[in-house]
Chains A and B, each alone.
Chain A
């Protein structure tokens, strides 16, 4: 289904239950940032969000569940993160307001759990495409799209010539056009143009 369809799903799930660091790391890297951001949207601060997600992965490591398939595993990750974040809100006295606000927003926007998952999954896939670009040109694309840095600044930070930055960026653009929606690439172009 996803771009990693070549990855052997059952092998991955078996690896997880046997406490294999390699497969575990793969899942961790694939979901950590998205789940942290998800928890952040619920509790309203990034620091504790990361703690929450670390705990979720801790549970996955300590007691690997027998997942039927990858979908089942993803479902676990999102639900465990959501529950832990909501529990955190309940436990943290100071954030009563925040909790009320979240629940209120939920009613207002009628964001069900499913819709939250859809939202995070779509952004996660975009994020993974950008962070999955090859070494040098990926770095440059990220510095430009995510950090909003100018070509000159990128050249300075990486200690490479301006021309190399431009070349690598063009290469990254080509790759992105193959992977991402035209809207994102258009936005990226906009950013590059301004620089």
Chain B
């Protein structure tokens, strides 16, 4: 390209060094020559030395989170083992059952070829239940409800200038033409549905079954505030000047740009916030704890808030989570039953297959191990679980466990 006296990278370095006051006489001469070479050059030189302009651009750059982007990028690389593992799972889907490794006792268990459907249940399973799928209900500010899995692609609504569009079953907001007050929208997943949505600020949200999120269609003001229920995984777009605040009925989470999972199902004993990247401040809402103490999580930690009951007050503790991927297995289309007890596993099945579980007598509380695809019929899951001395019977959508 140009000679070295015009090379933009050399000029940029000279300008930066001059700002540091570190130019040699020779370098100063070169820089002066460049500045006086044209009006445009001189104008740029003035702008580059304007602290306000400088801060404005530095702030703009700081909004992009290169560390998170790099992690995302590398984790999508075909060369990494993650992907291979997923493909492996995929290949074996026809016998998904075979993937679950049995029992806490660590017995390694591999199902042989299955017979024809249902054989194995000795006729107990008169019918089967298909796995959950993508879908949700969108409630607009005026109360209009749209069923997201039955809508076509493309633009589906406009509210106060914010466009809502649906592509590949993912909802996206474009707030670039937003006017007036930001309307509040709610997305709700029933049992048997999950959903992925990109909020107006670029934050990505995955809703597990039986969950919800309420948010403004454009984020304005000091902070970005949403309210959730159920289980939600967040990848928050980094906007350092506008913290992201997540509220549940019990806790408040403050973040700057980070990914984390919140499990706040009402039928779970505790409310758990697991941090994967970044930093999150967890504060129980007033009334949950006598003295509102907060905790700041570092990646790989889970904040556990117990629910208060008659005998005990709520407590907020922090535990290490060596394998956070396990916590967000659902978001990646998997069940991960490692170390989970019978009742926790059943609660997951209830939400995903939209069934009701009833216990007959008092079944042993087995600890499970292994993972399998969520995109699997209920019978396949039960088939595997049955190898652990639990018995199932499905009548309608009630699953009897003994």
Contact = CB atoms under 8 A, between A and B. Distances in A.
A74 B64 CA distance: 19
A148 B222 CA distance: 12
Contact of B64 (A32, A130, A145): A32
A28 interface: yes
Interface stretch (A9-17, A33-41, A80-88, A161-169): A33-41
Interface string A122-164: 1111110011000000000011011110000000011100000
Contacts of B67: 29
Nearest to B52: A187
Nearest to B69: A32
Q: Which of B6, B49, B58 has the most CB of A within 10 A?
A: B58
A145 B15 contact: no
Contacts, number: 148
A54 B58 contact: no
B51 A187 contact: yes
A115 B20 contact: no
Interface string B60-72: 1111101101100
B285 interface: no
Contacts of A183: 19, 49, 51, 54
Q: Which of A44, A118, A159, A186 has the most CB of B within 10 A?
A: A118
Contacts of B20: 179-181
A130 B58 contact: yes
Contacts of A105: none
Given A32-B69, A117-B8, A159-B294, A21 B74 contact: yes
Interface of A: 1-2, 19, 21, 25, 28-29, 32-34, 36-37, 40, 44-47, 50, 54, 57-58, 61, 71, 74-75, 109-112, 114-115, 117-119, 121-127, 130-131, 142-143, 145-148, 157-159, 179-184, 186-187
11 contacts: A32-B69, A46-B202, A61-B77, A114-B6, A118-B12, A118-B44, A121-B12, A126-B16, A159-B281, A159-B294, A179-B20
- In the complex, the 8 A-B pairs of residues with the closest C-beta atoms, listed nearest first: A181-B19, A121-B12, A32-B66, A117-B8, A33-B64, A123-B57, A187-B51, A33-B61
